[in-house]
Structure 1
Amino acid sequence: MSLLFKEIDSQASSLGEISLRRRRIPALGDRDIYEVKLGDEFLMSSMFVDAEEALSDLGLAAVHGDQLSVAVGGLGLGYTAVAALKDDRISELFVVDALETVIGWHKDELVPLGKILNADTRNHYVLASFFDLATDPETGFDPKNKGKKFDAILLDIDHSPTEFLNAANASFYSTDNLAIMAGHLKSKGVFAMWSQNLPDKNFEALLRTVFTEVTSHIIRFENPFQGTPSTNSVYVCIK
């Protein structure tokens, strides 16, 4: 197989065939690029991680206090989780992912950040649907402590509030279900969410039906394929 491309793993999942690939693009130098595809759709690439890291940085910057308990919805390639663990105030991090394959890639260290996450005792993988746990007022995100309250919940699963990885996720984006999720937060707790699109005014209005403060951030990053900066956004909400 070419040194420029390798499919590391490919497995069936509840959402379809999911694959992990590593490639090199000579024009971008001596750099391994990791990609995840679901069927024919690209889900994520290690080339574009600025917004995933900003999700943690901006979300946690809005949190006050120490000994923080934080939940992350969506493991991906691990960039949001690793960025969160750089905050020394975090005492425990629960990373929720519905795909056993993705958690397995990290546990088996098939992706670069798996080693970092496995070595940090604050990190806990949770195999479950984030949306099921978020909208269950009793269970919560810590399998050993039902109903635990969190200082922050960071979400990076759907492409945007209107473009879903799974059509079943659509019901989450409602006042009722966002309010149930907010019930898992401590007083003044923070909910932050990534989107591939620019801030959506309708979604901001929806968030304000649940949270006392809502701020949208535009994240700009270089895209060598387009030759111009690309943008994502991060919503930061305070209960």
Structure 2
Amino acid sequence: MSLMFEEIDSQSSPIGEISLRRRRIPVLGDRDIYEVKLGDEFLMSSAFYAAEEALATLGLAALQGDKLSVVVGGLGLGYTAVKALEDTRLDELLVVEALDTVITWHREERVPLGQVLNADPRNRYVLGSFFDLAVDPLSGFDPRQPGRQFDAILLDIDHSPTQFLNSANARFYSTDNLALMAQQLKPSGVFAMWSQNRPDAEFEALLATVFEQVESHLVSFFNPFQNNQATNSVYVCKGPAAV
């Protein structure tokens, strides 16, 4: 029987103390709940992850063809990456994560989905800042093949386009830097991004300066901690904007 609460690991990082915890919450049934915290702030919980999975589902649904190459920005507890790998058209997945601690949790299978990711030969972890790599298309996301392009880039790092995990991330959300990232997409490629908030009209307008097609999807799910329906958003963008 699992302990009611256990801190599995806690490590310092450039953006603060990051910790992995496991707990039992009787009202949620006979299962372990995994949580990631940055300082006192909750980043991720395995109690609900529908929107993280929807990021992969909605992003990849906008693509045609097979032998797809995909980048996931932000590893978290692995839900977006694992959902992407369920798409049989996927040929390669690069999961870009800035914190070595988070990659180690998955490689050492301290989190449940680590085993799934490690067992899939299509998956590869890339240690690095998504935001730094995104604005450097000459090097790009793949250290083995600088400058390559991808079919999709799926981003789940900041809480929203205006609420940042790290204040330095704010500069990414501009026409110039989004356009640099878009250079790493194939002509028919897709950029999709998760947000904890409802669709933001100003951000949609910003995305439209870079992409021809911008769609916002509202994802509803039950939040057991609040005992009600909650919503997140997924932005899906495709094609270069007309100049």
- Give the TM-score taking structure 2 as reference length: 0.97
1:77 aligned residue: 77
SS at match of 2:111: coil
Give the C-alpha shift of residue 15 in structure 1.
0.8
Match of 1:130 in 2: 130
Instruction: Give the Cα separation in 2 of the matches to 1:27 and 1:216.
Output: 33
- The one-letter amino acid paired with 2:180 is I
Secondary structure, aligned partner of 1:113 = helix
1:206 corresponds to: 206
Shift of 1:188: 1.4
Determine if the alignment matches structure 1 residue 218 to structure 2 residue 218: yes
Pairs aligned (count)? 238
What is the identity, as a one-letter code, of the residue corresponding to 2:143? P
Map 1:218-237 → 2, pairs under 5 A? 218-237=218-237
What percent identity do the matched residue pairs reach? 73
* CA distance in structure 1 between the partners assigned to 2:221 and 2:83 by the alignment: 17
Cα distance in 1 for partners of 2:225, 2:60 equals: 31
Is the Cα–Cα contact under 8 Å of residues 155 and 194 in structure 2 kept in the other structure? yes
Equivalence for 2:157:
157
Q: TM-score, normalised by structure 1?
A: 0.98
Cα distance in structure 1, aligned partners of 2:72 and 2:225: 29
Q: In 2, Cα distance between the equivalents of 1:80 and 1:126?
A: 15
Question: In the TM superposition, what is the alpha-carbon distance from 1:73 to its structure 2 partner?
Answer: 0.2
Q: What residue is the counterpart of 1:10 in the other structure?
A: 10
Distance 1:104 1:178 in 2: 29
- Residues 71-116 of structure 1 deviation map (CA, whole Å, 9 limit, x = unaligned): 0000000000000000011100000000000000000000000000
Which residues in structure 2 correspond to 1:27-38 (within 5 Å)?
27-38=27-38
Give structure 1 regions of 4+ aligned residues with deviation exceeding 2 angstroms: none
2:16 alignment partner, SS class: coil
The Cα offsets for residues 165-212 of structure 1, whole Å up to 9 and x where unpaired, read as: 000000000000000000000011000000000000000000000001
Number of the residue aligned with 1:40: 40
1:23 aligns with 2:23: yes
Q: Which runs of 5+ in 2 are unaligned?
A: none
Superposed counterparts of 1:81-160, under 5 Å? 81-160=81-160
Contact 2:74 2:157 in 1 (8 A): yes
CA contact (8 A) 2:47 2:224 kept: no
Once residues 196 and 224 of structure 1 are traced to their aligned partners in structure 2, the CA distance between those partners, rounded to angstroms, is 16
Offset at residue 229 of structure 1 (A): 0.1
Whole-angstrom distance in 1 between the partners of 2:50 and 2:140: 28
| 8 Å CA contact 2:44, 2:77 repeated in 1 | yes
SS at match of 1:63: coil
One-letter amino acid of the structure 1 residue matched with residue 174 of structure 2: S
Cα offset for 1:141?
Answer: 1.1
> 1:45 corresponds to which letter in structure 2?
S
